[in-house]
Amino acid sequence: MKKQHLIAVGIALAATAWVASGVMDGSSPEPETIPVAKAQKTAEETPEVRVRTMTAEPHHRFVTTSGHTAASRTLDVRTETAGRVVEIAVEEGSVVSKGDLLVRLAMDERRDRLEEAKATLHQRELEYEAGSKLGEKGYRAEVTVAGSAADLAAAKARVKEIELDIARPAIRAPFDGVIEAVPVEIGAVIAIGAEVATLVDLDPLKAVTNIPEQAISEVEVGTLGKVHLVSGAEVEGIVSYVSRVADTGTRTFRVELEVANADRHIPAGMTGEISLPAGQVLAHKVTPALLSLSTDGVVGVKTVDPENRVVFHPATIVEDQPDGVWLGGLPETIRVITVGQEFVDVGQAVRPVTVTAESEP
């Protein structure tokens, strides 16, 4: 009885093995069944990415650096004579025109000295006239006549000197501008060369920056640039000066722009960004979300090549705008990955799905 049970079990196991072998009823597996299954599995494992075909466009490149505004002229106005301050016609912040009175000094004895000098001049004129007539008649030596002529010339020079000194106590603005400082007080006695006011010229205004040595060859006098001030204002200026000697510490070159500032609303010393055109390049405009980093930390984009494999292209940022980034250094036409680039590696096979800019959110 036990033997029969063992035989039955053996037959059942053999039947099971025969069915599993797939040869029941003489059938055999189709040759392509296994490869197709593997292909389906491979397709399911290949990641899908969205790609967009992009073509480079001509783009005007700009060199953008930090800078600041500066007065086109700053002058410490000084006296040409000594004296006591009797009038201050301006204050800090006053807007003045060329020739406006700034400070007046006391005349003191200047007018009296002028009258004395004029009287001496009149006397020397009479002496010279009389001596000349006598010399013509031979009654006076030629040397004596020459001495009278010298005395007359000296008297004239003395009158002119005093007249100039009389004009010097009235200290006037040498050009249009704004008074920045008035370091004197009424009643102060000042010496020749003392500072009485600081005058700044804010129209035109200067915008000053320093350009890296790699870009200085592309900046030229007469070029129109833009100044984006920290206040939010944006103005244009013309490049008026480009240094030809680099700063020894930073290896940068000083560049100045001339900015119209008729209402003098823009002060000197305000910081901002200065953008100067630096030629035209072929570039791609992308959103910052499409940017990737290589394993070395290089900025670029991931694209798909004709064999549908991921390729990383390093790029240079030509210009950063609020609505996108212009990239240079890329092939003229690329299939850039717009969705899924963070989940695929360089060299990996992908299933690209082509989209357009209009179809993307």
Read off the CATH number of the domain in which 161 is found: 1.10.287
Residues 240 and 205 occupy one common structural domain: yes
Residues 304 and 250 occupy one common structural domain: no
Q: For position 28, what pLDDT does the model report?
A: 40
Assigned domain for 193 exists: no
Q: For position 54, what pLDDT does the model report?
A: 95
200 with 180: CB under 8 angstroms? yes
Average pLDDT over the chain, rounded to an integer: 84
- Domain ends where: 168, 189, 210? 168
Assigned domain for 196 exists: no
**Segments forming the whole domain that contains residue 275:** 64-71+201-280
Q: Lowest-confidence range among 94-108, 138-152, 288-302?
A: 138-152
Assigned domain for 224 exists: yes
List pLDDT tens digits, range 217-243: 989 999 999 999 999 999 999 999 999
- Domain ends where: 256, 280, 304? 280
Q: For position 22, what pLDDT does the model report?
A: 46
Q: How far is CA 253 from the centre of its chain?
A: 12
Nearest to 54, CA basis, from 298, 284, 211, 218: 284
Assigned domain for 238 exists: yes
Percent of the chain with pLDDT over 90: 59
Residues 260 and 274 occupy one common structural domain: yes
Assigned domain for 330 exists: yes
Q: For position 137, what pLDDT does the model report?
A: 63
Query: What does the pLDDT average to over 169-198?
Result: 95
Assigned domain for 36 exists: no
List pLDDT tens digits, range 33-88: 445 444 455 555 899 999 999 999 999 888 899 999 999 999 999 999 889 999 99
Report whether pLDDT(310) > 70. yes
CATH number of the domain that residue 258 is part of: 2.40.30.170
User: Who has greater pLDDT, 318 or 25?
Assistant: 318
The dihedral formed by the CA atoms of 321, 327, 333 and 334, expressed in degrees to the nearest 10? -100
Helix (H, G, I), strand (E, B) or coil at 284: strand
328: burial class by Cβ within 10 Å (0-12, 13-18, 19+)? Answer: middle
Compute and round to an integer the Cα radius of gyration of the chain.
Answer: 46
DSSP 3-state percent helix, strand, coil across the chain (nearest 5): 25, 40, 30
69 with 268: CB under 8 angstroms? yes
Q: For position 140, what pLDDT does the model report?
A: 61
Report whether pLDDT(122) > 90. no
- Domain ends where: 254, 280, 306? 280
pTM, entire model? 0.61
